[in-house]
Amino acid sequence: MTQPACYPISEAFAARARIGRDDYQRDYAQSVSEPEAFWGRIAQRLEWFRAPTRIKDTSFALEDFRIRWYEDGELNASVNCVDRHLATRGDKTALLFEPDSPDAPSQRISYRQLHERVCKLANALRALGVRKGDRVTIYLPMIPEAAVSMLACARIGAIHNVVFGGFAPNSIADRVADSTSKLVITADEGLRGGRKVPLKANVDAALKLPGTDSVETVLVVRHTGAAVEMQMPRDRWFDAVVNDQPAQCEPERMNAEDPLFLLYTSGSTGKPKGVLHTTGGYLVYASYTHEAVFDLREDDVYWCTADVGWVTGHSYIVYGPLANGATALMFEGVPNHPDVSRFWQIVDKHQVTIFYTAPTAIRALMRDGDEPVRRTSRRSLRLLGTVGEPINPEAWRWYYEVVGDSRCPIVDTWWQTETGGILISPLAGAIDLKPGSATKPFFGVQPALVDAGGNVLEGEAEGNLVLLDSWPGQMRTVYGDHQRFIDTYFKTYPGTYFTGDGCRRDADGYYWITGRVDDVINVSGHRIGTAEVESALVSHPKVAEAAVVGFPHDLKGQGIYAYVTLIAGEANSDALRRDLIAHVRSEIGPIATPDHLQWAPGLPKTRSGKIMRRILRKIAESGSSELAPEQLGDTSTLADPSVVESLVNERLRR
Ligand code: WT7
């Protein structure tokens, strides 16, 4: 039987959906023809100290570049995520915490309790000298304190900088140094699938590295209870500084364009960039997309499996859901602990209605077959979502048929750290689904496809994905380097924002993201810059040069393939290969672990010394099949074409 290429809107779903087919057509048309009227209306969903009257002032033109939304508005993000709900939802669960071990008790934190916890921490931060505009690095596991910490920063106008708990000391140090953070919030240890992550020890190691002296205080959450070294007077127990604080805290009045947070993300060159998001536009966009894309209802139990260390956790665990007064589940653990039914057991235990995860998790669980899913009920589910990378139609169908029992629509949401919120996605009551396609643009979003020369392609086409106009959730700058912001996103195709993604548009106007077209690798939905892995490799004393590319990987989407040239006189060996792989892990973190490392007597370079990654990608992709020279394309511009032959031979011997 051939599989349907299109899944029409579910009538049962559409009957109760917030946004129907006609609503989408009408509102989308208005959102692009009259963006001020549209986004002015949407902004009313938030509580403002001072309502904005100037809605949009944006231009991507290099001559008069500017991105300003709601610029005369004043608000506080924590007030919108917490205080605002006290009158009507004080006893409603804001955060539902499910710990790593199913035997440990889950916790419910009501909006009233969240308010108290946020206020107390905010007061403690102020008492420790943290002021509006100061940066605070947060390096925590997936525990409620992570959300509380973000909101406490927002309350006093401090700019939070969450660092994913899987990053190694070097990566923490880079982010602390670049942001010149005054304070770090961490925990003794994290827990993932029963394994302990030495968070405090990692922070200690990071703060010994150069450039991190801005840090005056480290707050340590006691989580596993492990004995950790406390360095006085720098290190303070979180509870000890928070407990005696007053339960009320005057929120800072923030301008809409005041920074809310920094989040570092990998690009094609250099060190990770500090993506800066501001308060008003970001919160309007995160909350509205969360409500519209997930068709949020008051009684939903919403679960996004992302980590708060990534933008998905920021927008769709913390800011979007809490601004909307939703119940958001936070899960500390992993999908396969203690067994591969864990996700679905949690769905049943907490009667989750909306479930949002990554294709890589779906592919991994799919490998274990239907039974671990089928043995759970999942009747509570009504909507499924994916994010992070293209989803292959096979995984989409398994998610739809097995996880969702062919009853729940799937929203495949395309967006980026830089975009703050979802830009292309189905609205399940309004748009027919096609497995593998993120479908249509969200309100106010104007995608276009351009060829290499920057010509806009019409109709059915494949090209580079750009956005023609701004949306409120857009990043505003690269922290400390505005020029890098402009150079990275607005110079390639002048007048547009370049996403770095390739994309196809079909005859129905549906968008199909094909993946990154720059030197960024998407490993399990996480961005890794090839340059970062290369510099980690080259920092090893035996490595002369390295080049890193992505290759198709069954589970991770893309894997990391490294070519390494040793310094003269060093002999390669399997032990050294393992050593180098471990070196990358300890320099950046486990997510950057190379899957393959191939010895390269030389790298294919042009006469001007530029590495031709196109050729390296072809060799990495080739698998075990014979690689004919013509498959490598034009190699005539290489300084030494014989290099390629030896790399191909080495590849085939693996
Ligand atoms: C890159 C952004 C946005 C949160 C998670 C990743 C890829 C993201 C999809 C999707 C195809 C996707 C793109 C994008 N991507 N979502 N639904 N379909 N590709 O955030 O780390 O900033 O990465 O992830 O390549 O550019 P990020």
pLDDT over 80 (residue 653): no
Asked whether residue 367 is marked as a ligand-binding residue, the answer is no
pLDDT digits (tens, 9 = 90+) for 141-178: 999 999 999 999 999 999 999 999 999 999 999 999 99
- In SS3 terms, 209-239 reads as CCCCCCCCEEEEECCCCCCCCCCCCCEEEHH
User: Can you give the residue ranges of every domain in the chain?
Assistant: 1-74+409-516, 76-277+291-300+309-334, 524-650
Compute, in angstroms, the gap from residue 261 CA to the centroid of ligand 1: 19
According to DSSP, the β-strands at 135-139 and 183-187 are: parallel
**Ligand 1 atom nearest to CA at 513:** 11
pLDDT digits (tens, 9 = 90+) for 231-279: 999 999 999 999 999 999 999 999 999 999 999 999 888 889 999 999 9
Contact status, residue 238 vs residue 220, Cβ threshold 8 Å:
yes
Confidence of residue 90 (pLDDT cuts 50, 70, 90): very high
Assigned CATH for 1-74+409-516? 3.40.50.12780
Q: Is 388 in the pocket of ligand 1 (CB under 6 A)?
A: yes
Radius of gyration of the chain (CA): 24
Shared fold status for 76-277+291-300+309-334 and 524-650: no
Compute, in angstroms, the gap from residue 389 CA to the centroid of ligand 1: 5
Residue 70 backbone class (left: φ over 0; alpha: ψ -120 to 50; beta: rest): left
Q: Whose CA is nearest to atom 19 of ligand 1?
A: 389
What angle separates helix 530-538 from helix 574-587, to the nearest 10 degrees?
120
What single DSSP character describes residue 250?
P
Compute, in angstroms, the gap from residue 288 CA to the centroid of ligand 1: 19
**Ligand 1 atom nearest to CA at 417:** 22
Question: Which CATH superfamily includes the segment(s) 524-650?
Answer: ANL, C-terminal domain (3.30.300.30)
Q: Is 390 in the pocket of ligand 1 (CB under 6 A)?
A: yes
pLDDT digits (tens, 9 = 90+) for 333-374: 999 999 999 999 999 999 999 999 999 999 999 999 999 999
According to DSSP, the β-strands at 74-75 and 107-110 are: unpaired
Candidate of 275, 396, 513, 591 to mutate for ligand 1, largest count of ligand atoms within 8 Å of Cβ: 513
The structure tokens listed for 267 are: 């690009």
% of the chain exceeding 70 in pLDDT: 99
Asked whether residue 413 is marked as a ligand-binding residue, the answer is yes
pLDDT of residue 631: 79
CA atoms of 102 and 396, how far apart (whole Å): 28
Contact status, residue 401 vs residue 408, Cβ threshold 8 Å:
no
Q: Is 522 in the pocket of ligand 1 (CB under 6 A)?
A: yes
Confidence of residue 625 (pLDDT cuts 50, 70, 90): low
Contact status, residue 134 vs residue 158, Cβ threshold 8 Å:
yes
Confidence of residue 654 (pLDDT cuts 50, 70, 90): low
Asked whether residue 289 is marked as a ligand-binding residue, the answer is no
Tell me the H-state helices in 464-573: 482-490, 530-538
pLDDT of residue 624: 55
CA atoms of 128 and 158, how far apart (whole Å): 12
According to DSSP, the β-strands at 93-98 and 327-331 are: parallel
Q: Is 419 in the pocket of ligand 1 (CB under 6 A)?
A: no
Compute, in angstroms, the gap from residue 433 CA to the centroid of ligand 1: 19
**Ligand 1 atom nearest to CA at 438:** 17
pLDDT of residue 546: 96
Over residues 66-82, the mean pLDDT reads: 99
| DSSP characters over 255-299 | ETTSEEEEEEE--SSSSPEEEEEESHHHHHHHHHHHHHHTT--TT
**Ligand 1 atom nearest to CA at 424:** 17
Confidence of residue 560 (pLDDT cuts 50, 70, 90): very high
Asked whether residue 325 is marked as a ligand-binding residue, the answer is no
Under 8 Å CB-to-CB from 113, ≥6 apart: which residues?
Answer: 94
pLDDT over 80 (residue 630): no
Compute, in angstroms, the gap from residue 6 CA to the centroid of ligand 1: 23
Q: How many helices (H) and strands (E) are present in the chain, helices listed first?
A: 22, 31
Over residues 125-148, the mean pLDDT reads: 98
pLDDT of residue 610: 87
Mean per-residue pLDDT over the chain, rounded? 96
Q: The tokens 């570049």 sit on which residue?
A: 65
Compute, in angstroms, the gap from residue 466 CA to the centroid of ligand 1: 14
Query: What's the length of the chain?
Result: 654
Q: Whose CA is nearest to atom 5 of ligand 1?
A: 388
Compute, in angstroms, the gap from residue 124 CA to the centroid of ligand 1: 36
Q: Is 551 in the pocket of ligand 1 (CB under 6 A)?
A: no
Asked whether residue 175 is marked as a ligand-binding residue, the answer is no
pLDDT over 70 (residue 1): no
Asked whether residue 303 is marked as a ligand-binding residue, the answer is no
Over residues 569-588, the mean pLDDT reads: 97
CA atoms of 384 and 358, how far apart (whole Å): 11
**Ligand 1 atom nearest to CA at 412:** 17
Assigned CATH for 76-277+291-300+309-334? 3.40.50.12780
**Ligand 1 atom nearest to CA at 425:** 17
Whether this model's pTM surpasses 0.90:
yes
pLDDT digits (tens, 9 = 90+) for 381-390: 999 999 999 9
Q: Is 527 in the pocket of ligand 1 (CB under 6 A)?
A: yes
Contact status, residue 355 vs residue 372, Cβ threshold 8 Å:
no
Strand (E) or helix (H) holding 185: strand 183-187
Asked whether residue 313 is marked as a ligand-binding residue, the answer is no
The answer to which of 105-119, 389-403, 601-615 has the lowest mean pLDDT is 601-615
Candidate of 315, 521, 527, 591 to mutate for ligand 1, largest count of ligand atoms within 8 Å of Cβ: 527
pLDDT digits (tens, 9 = 90+) for 482-519: 999 999 999 999 999 999 999 999 999 999 999 999 99
The structure tokens listed for 360 are: 């890589």
Compute, in angstroms, the gap from residue 144 CA to the centroid of ligand 1: 25
Compute, in angstroms, the gap from residue 241 CA to the centroid of ligand 1: 38
The structure tokens listed for 527 are: 């961005």
Q: Whose CA is nearest to atom 3 of ligand 1?
A: 416
Candidate of 285, 305, 387 to mutate for ligand 1, largest count of ligand atoms within 8 Å of Cβ: 387
Backbone angles phi, psi at 462, to 5 degrees: -130, 135
